[in-house]
Amino acid sequence: MIIWLASYPKSGNTFVRAFLSAYYFSKNGEFDFSQISRIDQFPHEKYFKEKVNSINEASKQWVPIQKEINKDKKIRFFKTHSFLGNYQGNQFTSPETTLGAIYIVRDPRNVLSSLKNHYSFDDNKALEMIKDKTRSLMSNNGSHASLTYISSWAENYLSWFSNNQFRRLFVKYEDLISNKYETFRDIIVFTNTLMNRVEGVNKSKLQKAIETTNFDVLKKREMSEAFDGSETSFKSWRKFHSENKNLFFNLGPENNWKKILNSEISKEIEISFEKEMKQLGYL
């Protein structure tokens, strides 16, 4: 069965992915970039037996592939940026294949400024992306490395929020920064419960996982170690960096929309997502 680690792009998914990798896939909670591959991305072209040329083609296989993955009856974490719902009549997942989900949500004004850096977008291009209800992800070279339908920031969030078919934990990115220990502890309690683990939280392992996945630590290590954290899934971080010229771990907690976005763009986001932002306490 699958435990989803879900979010709209640039919302802290990889940050939590690193933490969970350190906690569950190391002896003492110390993070290493090699561990992050234990939490794979879905959907991804490597899970399709034949090449597909569109999201529409891919969507027909999302659930069948998950059923195939689950045949060994193991519990797995998967990272996704997918909208939770149906695309052209095809569901992204089902209670039959899903054990639960952690959804990370982030202030869309800071998401936008992060998207600008990651994709080398200007304000208007990033705004167009975050509002686009028909949006999907493709790799920079034109192939469908990530066969993912993401929709807009609001639709992505609402699709997971409104779901009641399996257990979910909602985490605000801002709490991962300002209230680390309690927030990451709650994540472990939730995932242990899903997996029917009777042991309590290993406090020393939890603390070590938090320390070694600190944003500044990840940013420093990113420059010297192979890293595959992007939606395009480049096998070599050095190749990714040379082609994109942007850090994956760029500003993180220092990403402050008040200092980066012009007032017209931030106002447009607030108007477009007013209901959801008020619900989340961003307005």
Residue 220 is predicted with a pLDDT of: 61
113 occurs within a structural domain? no
Residue 42 is predicted with a pLDDT of: 94
Residue 228 is predicted with a pLDDT of: 46
253 occurs within a structural domain? no
DSSP secondary structure code for residue 70 in this structure: G
Residue 225 is predicted with a pLDDT of: 54
Global pTM? 0.87
Q: Provide the residue range defining the domain that includes 81.
A: 2-107+131-245
Residue 164 is predicted with a pLDDT of: 92
181 occurs within a structural domain? yes
Residue 113 DSSP SS3: helix
CATH number of the domain to which 70 belongs: 3.40.50.300
In DSSP notation, 7-59 reads ESTTSSHHHHHHHHHHHHSSSSS---GGGGGGSEESS-GGG-SS---SHHHHH
13 occurs within a structural domain? yes
116 occurs within a structural domain? no
Tokens of 268: 């447009």
112 occurs within a structural domain? no
CB 87 within 8 A of CB 14: no
What distance in Å separates the CA atoms of residue 201 and residue 97, rounded to the nearest whole number?
A: 26
Residue 222 is predicted with a pLDDT of: 54
Side-chain-side CA neighbours of residue 150 (13 Å): 23
114 occurs within a structural domain? no
Q: How many separate domains does the chain show?
A: 1
Residue 217 is predicted with a pLDDT of: 64
Q: pLDDT tens string for the chain (283 positions)?
A: 999 999 999 999 988 999 999 999 999 999 988 888 899 999 988 899 888 888 888 999 999 999 999 999 999 999 999 999 989 999 999 999 999 999 999 999 999 988 887 788 898 999 999 999 999 875 544 454 567 999 999 999 999 999 999 999 999 999 999 999 999 999 999 999 999 998 899 999 999 999 998 866 665 655 555 444 443 333 433 343 444 445 444 555 666 878 878 899 999 999 999 999 999 999 9
Residue 235 is predicted with a pLDDT of: 41
141 occurs within a structural domain? yes
